[in-house]
Amino acid sequence: MERLNTITSKVENAIDILQKYRSSLITAAVTGKIDVRNVNLTERGASLNETEALELPV
């Protein structure tokens, strides 16, 4: 049971870090600190269809 709690804690921590990273990337893109105009998501392994893109939180 302790091992499960340790793994759960590590996963929750990783999720928290990734959410903060995502938020900072969005902020940087919106404020113009990074240029994302020519980013091709399909080349980077991401694939969002139009419906999925519209459902992303802003």
Q: Is the dihedral of CA 30, 43, 16, 49 positive or negative?
A: positive
- The values of phi and psi at residue 34, to 5°, are -130, 145
List pLDDT tens digits, range 37-55: 887 777 666 665 655 555 5
List pLDDT tens digits, range 2-51: 999 999 999 999 999 999 999 999 999 999 999 888 877 776 666 656 55
pTM above 0.85, yes or no: no
Residue 1, pLDDT score: 92
Residue 51, pLDDT score: 55
